[in-house]
Amino acid sequence: MILFFALLFLATAIAGFCAFVIFWPLTLVHVRDRHEAIAAEFGAGAFLKPVALGWLLSGRYRDTNDRSLTGLATPAKVSLLVIFGGLACAAALWLLSLVMA
């Protein structure tokens, strides 16, 4: 039963990844088109750069006062947190299953 719930958490992380792959590129395109200073900070190929992901996770997109950017970046942030949470819970349950076995 524990491994079943671990697989459910893994499925949740996969669902979060799907949402992240949708919203994060849209956010980066919006930044590239309308916020040149932030785009210059990220550089080219910012999809998995730690600087760009740190900017997203810290919520600094709210400092721009751009509602469109906030509307794209918030779901990307939530989906990234879902990925991390799902993987952490799946790993914890997997380790628990090893201890209990």
Average pLDDT over every residue of 20-30: 98
Asked if 73 and 53 count as a contact pair (C-beta separation under 8 A), the reply is: no
At 13, which helix (H) or strand (E)?
helix 2-34
Per-residue pLDDT tens digits for 32-41:
999 999 999 9
What is the residue-averaged pLDDT of the chain? 96
Please, which pLDDT band fits residue 101 given cuts at 50, 70 and 90? confident
| Structure confidence at residue 76 (pLDDT) | 98
**DSSP for 20-72, written as a single string:** HHHHHHHHHHHHHHH-HHHHHHH-SS-TT-HHHHHHHHHTGGGGG--HHHHHH
32-81, pLDDT tens digit by residue?
999 999 999 999 999 999 999 999 999 999 999 999 999 999 999 999 99
